[in-house]
Amino acid sequence: MKSLEGLELQEALETALVGLLNGNIKREAAASWATRTVSWRPLLHSPMGNLPGDAHLALLMVNTDETGWGEGTSGNWFLTTTHLSSYLEALRGQLSATPLEGGWHNAPFQVGLPDGFRRLGWCWLRDRAGLARRLGAPTRGRDDFAPFEAWDLLAPTKHHYSVFRYMPPPDYPDTIELLCWDAAGDPASEAREAAFWPLAELLALDLDAIGVLEDGPPTPTRWALWRRDDNNNEFRISRHLTQSAAQARADHFESLGHKQDYWVQPIE
């Protein structure tokens, strides 16, 4: 195996990516080259810290199908020409951020800190297409564990976030992880909650969809949907992070023609 690092690795990656995009290098050949090449890379996924290392690991997947777990065919690649172009532009410093709603930006390979990240929480992925419509196109790559896709986000507050999805093998639950790169060194739960809220609201996440990590739930609930039945008994139906999400659930039940009363109220 040949060991590459630094500028030598970056130049070799640019040459391989240009060849792939121009059709002068076959995907099988690029994947074989990446397999025979060793690059230094930190254990943490840090787009800002080691982009060449991330690009090198991505090329290991260049001949893989879109699931990340099988052999690819034409038109069914895990890394499309768009993904390959993003890596090339990033290596050349030419990849710009894309504006999203509310002053957010999809900023591929432009977030991340050398000190690593702090996990804010995780949730089941129920609508991957909807997530892509909200956040734009993800980057794709792999780490020491599995292939993944990620949305690197810059908040209006200048905080750095990532929404990270491992590509699940067949019959495995599909989830996303929510990461904040700025809160890595702060173990305080208050800092974690403050970092969590903006991302949760951008994604319109409901609390009931959020998983619990080793250091507890990400944040208390904000809004609840209640129902009053014909006997004047009141029941809490669901909990939500935002008033709009709770109201949308209430509107849904009312549209079904139910006679019960539905209302939304904050949880103290």
Concatenated DSSP letters of 18-49:
HHHHHTSS-HHHHHHHHHHEEE---SS--TTT
With contact defined as beta carbons under 8 Å apart, do 198 and 191 qualify? no
Q: What is the CA radius of gyration of the chain?
A: 22
Q: pLDDT at position 144, please?
A: 65
Which of these, 30, 167, 41, 146, lies nearest to 88 by C-alpha position?
30
Mean pLDDT, consecutive 10-residue segments, the chain of 268 residues?
67 92 94 77 44 84 87 87 93 91 90 64 78 90 82 88 82 77 58 73 64 41 79 81 75 78 84
Q: Is 116 left (phi over 0), alpha (psi -120 to 50) or beta?
A: left
Residue 75: phi and psi, rounded to 5, are: 85, 5
Q: pLDDT at position 45, please?
A: 40
Q: pLDDT at position 115, please?
A: 57
The helix (H) or strand (E) run that includes residue 89 is helix 81-91
Q: pLDDT at position 256, please?
A: 77
**pTM of the predicted protein model:** 0.71
